[in-house]
């Protein structure tokens, strides 16, 4: 088996190397193949694994777009009752909506194909690349995310639903050490995004960066920068003219933005902390969910095989009642697990929530002060 794994690792290595563009030297992630002393029965030899395309060195500055991942829509649009009936627990989803962007962020950072990748508490349309999305399914056995990626020009790079079914051993500790549950989904997304970047020239990426900066500036000082941007006939943002390279206002805008990034990086650390603390509990939660689903399937199969008792008989009524009773007990069990999950995760999440709110407030305040200051400078420079 060990030899087979090494052979597979070799094939994987070759396939991953061939998949890379010649101008961007890459190497595949080999960490999971280096841990080979697993029991044979647990050895992961799944054929459809998605290897992350990884650059050996950081990308050149002109291709290092910055990415913002907005906290996901938890997908709990229905009322509490219908969510409960569908096995969707709002508190768990709320935690997942912050956890999953960080999982995607990790894949993007690990790929070494991008500039800074940040998880954002809210949307920022001026970002060079902005990832937003919604959790469609998350039940331990399956994860399905509807993701959209837009650049600062408002061009949609990607609008796709990513779905994956967890393997039978996905939650075994030995397997988790090799590969996080649903890691292939995160890899697939990161690889797709990388492929889309490959299709764009340096000049196109440069335009995205310019527009991003101008959108940020126009948001901060609309009077000064609105005229630099327009919309073309297809509704996309276009640059009407560019400020001078030594424009002092642009220099100030960049300093403000750097301040903003400092704040966002601090909130990002909080998301990282949430990710680390939540991971073991979240794995357990998803494992329980998966086991419950598997048990339910086998129970339904057994039920289908059973002889149907005479209608109206005691046996028939008992079966009808027990089906209902089993369903209700299952839901109660799920709710207990969800409460256990919340009891462990909630303090961190609340702390995170508190910090984010505090930081956002502070950020807004700084923004306002900076904007006032910049407007004053602007008025002084241009005259009344």
Classify residue 5 by burial, with Cβ atoms within 10 Å: 0-12, 13-18, 19+.
middle
Q: Which is nearer to another protein, 238 or 336 (CB)?
A: 336
Q: Which residues, 6+ apart, have CB-to-CB distance to 163 below 8 Å?
A: 136, 137, 142, 143, 144, 145, 185
119 bridge partner residues: 69
CB of 354 to another protein, least distance (A): 20
Report if residue 312 touches another protein, rule: CB under 8 A. yes
Q: Which is nearer to another protein, 312 or 384 (CB)?
A: 312
Taking a C-beta distance cutoff of 8 angstroms, is the pair 72, 134 a contact?
A: yes
CB of 139 to another protein, least distance (A): 16
CA atoms in the 13 A half-sphere facing the CB of 363: 21
Report if residue 313 touches another protein, rule: CB under 8 A. yes
Report if residue 146 touches another protein, rule: CB under 8 A. no
CB of 309 to another protein, least distance (A): 11
CB of 82 to another protein, least distance (A): 10
CB of 172 to another protein, least distance (A): 16
Report if residue 162 touches another protein, rule: CB under 8 A. no
Select the residue interacting with another protein from 48, 81, 301, 380 (CB under 8 A).
Answer: 81
Tokens 């949307």 found at: 123
Report if residue 295 touches another protein, rule: CB under 8 A. no
Cα separation, 256 vs 240, in Å, equals: 23
Per-residue burial over 309-346, b if 16 or more Cβ lie within 10 Å, else e, is eeeeeeeeeeeeeeeeeeeeebeeebeebbeebbebbe
CB of 98 to another protein, least distance (A): 18
CB of 150 to another protein, least distance (A): 36
CA atoms in the 13 A half-sphere facing the CB of 232: 9
Cα separation, 224 vs 371, in Å, equals: 12
Report if residue 288 touches another protein, rule: CB under 8 A. yes
Report if residue 58 touches another protein, rule: CB under 8 A. no
Distance of CA 246 to the CA centre of its chain: 37
Report if residue 280 touches another protein, rule: CB under 8 A. yes
The candidate with the shortest Cα–Cα distance to 374, out of 182, 224, 236, 211, is: 224
The candidate with the shortest Cα–Cα distance to 100, out of 135, 126, 151, 130, is: 135
Report if residue 346 touches another protein, rule: CB under 8 A. no
Q: Which is nearer to another protein, 262 or 350 (CB)?
A: 350
Report if residue 25 touches another protein, rule: CB under 8 A. no
Select the residue interacting with another protein from 324, 347, 358, 369 (CB under 8 A).
Answer: 324
CB of 88 to another protein, least distance (A): 15
Q: Site residues (CB under 8 A) for another protein? A: 81, 85, 280-281, 284-285, 288, 311-314, 316-318, 320-321, 323-325, 327-329, 332, 336-337, 339-341, 343-344
């Amino acid at each position: 088996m060990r030899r087979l794994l090494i052979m597979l690792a070799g094939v994987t290595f070759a396939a991953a190397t061939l998949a890379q563009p010649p101008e961007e030297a890459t190497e595949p992630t080999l960490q999971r193949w280096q841990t080979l002393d697993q029991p044979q029965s647990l050895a992961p030899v799944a054929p459809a694994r998605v290897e992350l395309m990884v650059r050996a060195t950081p990308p050149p500055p002109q291709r290092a777009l910055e990415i913002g991942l907005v906290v996901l829509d938890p997908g709990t649009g229905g009322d509490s009752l219908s969510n409960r009936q569908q096995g969707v627990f709002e508190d768990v989803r709320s935690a997942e909506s912050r956890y999953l962007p960080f999982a995607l962020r990790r894949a993007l950072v690990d790929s070494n194909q991008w500039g800074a990748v940040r998880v954002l508490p809210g949307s920022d349309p001026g970002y060079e690349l902005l990832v937003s999305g919604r959790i469609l399914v998350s039940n331990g056995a399956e994860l399905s995310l509807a993701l959209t990626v837009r650049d600062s020009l408002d061009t949609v790079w990607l609008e796709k639903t990513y779905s994956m079914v967890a393997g039978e051993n996905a939650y075994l500790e030995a397997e988790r050490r090799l590969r996080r549950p649903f890691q292939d989904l995160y890899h697939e997304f990161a690889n797709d995004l990388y492929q889309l970047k490959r299709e764009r020239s340096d000049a196109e990426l440069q335009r995205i960066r310019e527009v991003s900066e101008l959108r940020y500036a126009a948001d901060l000082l609309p009077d000064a920068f609105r005229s630099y941007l327009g919309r073309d006939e297809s509704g996309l943002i276009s640059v009407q003219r560019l400020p001078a390279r030594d424009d002092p206002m642009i220099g100030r805008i960049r300093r403000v933005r750097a301040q903003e990034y400092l704040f966002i990086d601090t909130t990002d650390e909080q998301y990282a902390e949430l990710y680390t603390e939540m991971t073991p509990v979240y794995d357990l939660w998803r494992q329980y969910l998966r086991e419950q689903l598997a048990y339910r399937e086998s129970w339904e199969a057994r039920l289908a095989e059973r002889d149907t008792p005479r209608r109206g008989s005691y046996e028939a009524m008992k079966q009808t009642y027990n089906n209902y009773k089993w369903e209700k007990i299952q839901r109660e069990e799920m709710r207990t697990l969800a409460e256990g999950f919340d009891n462990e995760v909630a303090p961190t999440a609340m702390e995170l929530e508190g910090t984010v709110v505090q930081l956002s407030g502070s950020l807004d305040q700084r923004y306002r002060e900076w904007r006032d200051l910049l407007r004053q400078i602007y008025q002084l420079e241009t005259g009344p």
